[in-house]
Amino acid sequence: MSVHINAKKGEIAKVVLQPGDPLRAKYIADNFLKNAKLVSQTRGIFYYTGIYKGKEITVGASGMGFPSIGIYSFELFTEYEVDTIIRIGTCGAYTTDLKVFDLLNVENAASESTYAKFAWEIEEDIISHQGNIFDLINQTAEELSLKAKATNIHSSDIFYRKDPNIPAIATKYDCPAVEMEAFGLFANAKHLGKNAATILTVSDIIPTHENISADQREKALKPMIELALESAWKSI
């Protein structure tokens, strides 16, 4: 057991899918994995390990923001010897060039956050995906006839802000959308020499306020979940 995950050694697979929401982790376990077992529920953060096409995969929540995914991904990488984490989540688009339901495969995450600097002395404000899982996701998307755009993303500490303008760092690094976890995950993986990727579904278009409705979400997120599972399966 680690500090924040109470699974026993051997109960977490080598590849983990990380949605932010514990209930989304449960949904994936219930609907996509066979013989899924709840292996951790400390603080209401659920982790399930089950079988997908004959191979063991774990799905568990990261929570929101760098502090939360920083803790969970670090403990998975170090205490449970996880090799690969694929974050799956939603993002808001800064531009109408993106549409709701679009899939993004994050190439680089840019952030104003000091997380990487003070945790690992990584001074850069942009960090790339780690390992070969990014390329495997691109390859798998083509095989599934899914359009997964390789892109930079703005990873922000802030959800609500006074200034409505696109933050300078997003403009600097040509980030068409924003989320809150990829930079932290990539920083941990870079420091530890692990594999990490982030697949996102565009859920909101910030300039127009268009968004995926609550009753559309399960259907909308299915392509992302299937892409992540297929990529995870191939990586094992």
* Residues 187-211: tens digit of each pLDDT: 999 999 999 999 999 999 999 999 9
For residue range 19-56, list pLDDT tens digits in order.
999 999 999 999 999 999 999 999 999 999 999 999 99
What residues are annotated to the active site?
204
Q: Give the strand pairing for 34-40 and 47-52.
A: antiparallel
Task: Report how far apart, in Å, the C-alpha atoms of 220 and of each of 15, 155, 160 are.
Answer: 23, 22, 24
Q: How big is the CA angle at 18 (ends 166 and 49), to the nearest 5 degrees?
A: 170
- The CA distance from 131 to 1, in Å, is 26
The values of phi and psi at residue 28, to 5°, are: -65, -45
Q: Residue 136 has what pLDDT?
A: 98
Residue 216's pLDDT is 82
Q: What is the pLDDT of residues 91-150, one digit of tens each?
A: 999 999 999 999 999 999 999 999 999 999 999 999 999 999 999 999 999 999 999 999
Q: Is the distance from CB of 157 to CB of 66 less than 8 angstroms? A: yes
> Can you tell me the distance from the alpha carbon of 126 to that of 137, in angstroms, rounded to the nearest whole number?
21
Q: Measured on CA atoms in the order 147, 149, 155, 158, is the torsion positive or negative? A: negative
